[in-house]
Structure 1
Amino acid sequence: MVGELAQHLGECAILLDIDGTLLDLAPTPREVWVPPGLANTLIRLSDKTSGALALVSGRSLNDIDLIFAPDQFPAVGGHGAEMRLSSDSEAVATHAPPMDKELKRRLAAIARLSPGILLEDKGYSLALHYRLAPHAEKAIYEAISLIRNELPHAPIEVLPGKCVFEIKQVGFDKAMGVRELMRREPFRGRRPIFIGDDVTDESVFVIMPDLGGLAFSVGRRAEGVAGHFDEPRDVRAWLARLVDGEAAARE
C-alpha cells in the first residue's frame, strides 16, 4: 500500500497523532522526545503534499511546538479545541471555551491521592497520568466519578487513555477538528490519511470513510481501520518510506 500512496502523495493530506503514534510514550508527558530524522521526514512530507500535513493531538498547540522546536507544523490541538492551518499562521480557536476554574481546581486536587499521579493542564482539558502510580487507577476513576455525580450538569466528559484519564468539556473532539481542517486550504479536496493509537483517536477513525480517507491504528487493530502498526517506530519507518516516492513505488 505504501507504494500506491507514495505515487499519489500529492493528492493526500497526512494527519498524525503524536503520543504513542509518532513518538514513544514516556513515564511523564514532558519526557517524550523527537527521534533523529523524524522532523526531516515530516518536513519532506509537508513539501510533497504542498503543506497538507498536520499533527492531531490532545496537547495544546504551544505544547506541540515545544516538543518539535524549532520546527513548527500545522496542527489540531486540544482534541479539536484549536487549530493552525500552516506553520507560519496564527492559531485559530474553534470550539472550546475555557474549563470552569473551580471545576478544574477540584479535578486537579485528585492528583494528591497518591505520589506518582501527574497533573497536566492542557488548557482546554485536564489530564491525570498514573503511569508512575498504576495502583491508583481505581481511586482516580472513583474520585472523578464522585465529582461528576455532585455536578451532574457540568459539561465535561472523561477520556480514558494509556495510563491517563483526561477530562475535557463536551462539544468538541478530534473528529470535529479534523472535519474543520479538511474544509480549509491546503487540506480541502485531498484524501486524508490518519494514524492514531488511543481511544481519543477513534472518533477520527470513524469519519475517515466519510472523507474518502484511510485510517491506521498503532498498537492494536482498531475497528474500521485499513491497517495497523505495532509501535511508533514502525510508523516512523513507514512515513520515511512513504516520503521516498521512487523507492516506495517499486515495492
Structure 2
Amino acid sequence: MPVAEDLVPEEDEAPEAVPVPHLLAPRLNEIAILLDIDGTLLDLMPTPREVWVPPGLSETLNRLLERTSGALALVSGRSLNDIDLIFAPAEFPAVGGHGAEMRVTSDSEAIAARAPPMDKELKRRLAAIARLSPGILLEDKGYSLALHYRLAPHAEKAIYEAVSLIRADLPHAPIEVLPGKSVCEIKHSGFTKASGVRELMTREPFKGRRPLFIGDDVTDETVFAIMPDLNGLAFSVGRRSTGVAGHFDEPSDVREFLARLLDDEGATARP
C-alpha cells in the first residue's frame, strides 16, 4: 500500500490536504476506517443530547463496513450504550468511553479494557461542580464525568479551578482531566482513545490493516500521535492539529468524503 504522501496532494500544492477518495477507494480491503463522532461525523450541538445523525450517514457507514469487511469503528468518549442510542437502530464496531470499552464487531459483546468505574464519592464531588452556574450540564458516562459549559461559557475558569481543588485534596486519586470543546471531562487514568485503538488494531478484522483515523478534539490527539506506529493516516476536523496528514473544515466535509469513497470505489469496480 502506498505511503501517506501518495494518498494526499503535495504539501506545497495543498497545505490543507485531505485524503483523496479515488486513491483510497480501491484499497478499502487494506484500510481500517476509524472515526470520532462529535465534531467529526456529527455537528456539535448546545447539549450532547441534541446531536442527530443526518439522513444517509448510517447507510454510508454500513456500506463502508461491508466494503472493508467489518474494519470500520467509531472511536468516542461516549459510552457504547450512548453511541448505540444515537445511531439506533444501526450498531457499529466501536471504542467507547475514551478507550474504556470496545466492541470489535457490530454483533459482538462489549469488551471492558481494564477500566474500573470511577469512585462514587469522587464522582459525587465532581458532579457538585455543576451547581456553580445555571447552564453547566453534567454527563455521567460511567467511566468518566463530563461538565459541559457551552451554555455557560463564563463558567469555564470556575469549573477548572474547582476540579483542581478536588485533585489537590485527593493527590493520589487515579484521574485525568480532559479539556475539550466547551467541556471539562474527568476520567480514570490508565486508558485513552489511543490505548483503545491499539487494542482494537490487534483484533480481527482490523489486524494487519492500515488505520485511517479522523478526529477533531484534544482527546483525539492521543490517536493522532500513534498513527506513525501503526503506519496509519490521521486527519483533523475544524482545527489544524500537529502530526496529521490533512484537515477537514467541518463534519459535513467528512460525511461527503466518506460518501465519495463509496462512489469512487464503485467507479473503479466498473469495467
Q: What is the TM-score normalised by the length of structure 1?
A: 0.98
Deviation at 1:95, TM superposition (A): 2.2
CA distance in 2, matches of 1:215, 1:249: 26
CA distance in 2, matches of 1:147, 1:124: 18
Matches within 5 A, 1:29-108: 29-108=48-127
CA distance in 2, matches of 1:217, 1:41: 20
CA distance in 2, matches of 1:109, 1:246: 53
**Match in the other structure for 1:211:** 230
Aligned counterpart in structure 2 of residue 24 of structure 1, from 36, 43, 47: 43
SS at match of 2:239: coil
Q: Is residue 22 of structure 2 the alignment partner of residue 3 of structure 1? A: yes
Amino acid in structure 2 at the alignment position of 1:186: P
Deviation at 1:246, TM superposition (A): 3.7
Cα separation, partners in 2 of 1:248 and 1:163, compared to 1, 3 Å: farther
Deviation at 1:220, TM superposition (A): 1.2
Matches within 5 A, 1:203-242: 203-242=222-261
Amino acid in structure 1 at the alignment position of 2:237: V
Q: Is residue 178 of structure 2 the alignment partner of residue 159 of structure 1? A: yes
**Match in the other structure for 2:142:** 123
CA distance in 1, matches of 2:68, 2:101: 22
CA distance in 1, matches of 2:123, 2:38: 23
Cα separation, partners in 2 of 1:112 and 1:184, compared to 1, 3 Å: same
Q: Is residue 124 of structure 2 the alignment partner of residue 109 of structure 1? A: no
SS at match of 2:40: coil
CA distance in 2, matches of 1:131, 1:80: 24
SS at match of 1:119: strand
Deviation at 1:243, TM superposition (A): 1.8
Deviations 1:96-149 (A, max 9, x none): 101000000000000000000000000000000000000000110110000001
Q: Is residue 210 of structure 2 the alignment partner of residue 191 of structure 1? A: yes
**Residues 2 and 249, structure 1, Cα contact 8 Å, conserved in 2:** no
SS at match of 1:111: helix
> Percent same amino acid at aligned positions?
82
CA distance in 1, matches of 2:233, 2:46: 31
**What are structure 2's unaligned runs of at least 5 residues?**
1-19
Amino acid in structure 1 at the alignment position of 2:113: T
CA distance in 2, matches of 1:32, 1:206: 28
CA distance in 2, matches of 1:192, 1:44: 18
Amino acid in structure 2 at the alignment position of 1:66: L
**Match in the other structure for 1:142:** 161
CA distance in 2, matches of 1:112, 1:247: 55
CA distance in 2, matches of 1:220, 1:249: 35
Deviation at 1:3, TM superposition (A): 1.1
Amino acid in structure 1 at the alignment position of 2:21: V
**Match in the other structure for 2:3:** none
Deviation at 1:19, TM superposition (A): 0.2
SS at match of 1:223: coil
Amino acid in structure 1 at the alignment position of 2:251: P
Amino acid in structure 1 at the alignment position of 2:87: F
Amino acid in structure 2 at the alignment position of 1:237: E
Deviation at 1:159, TM superposition (A): 0.3
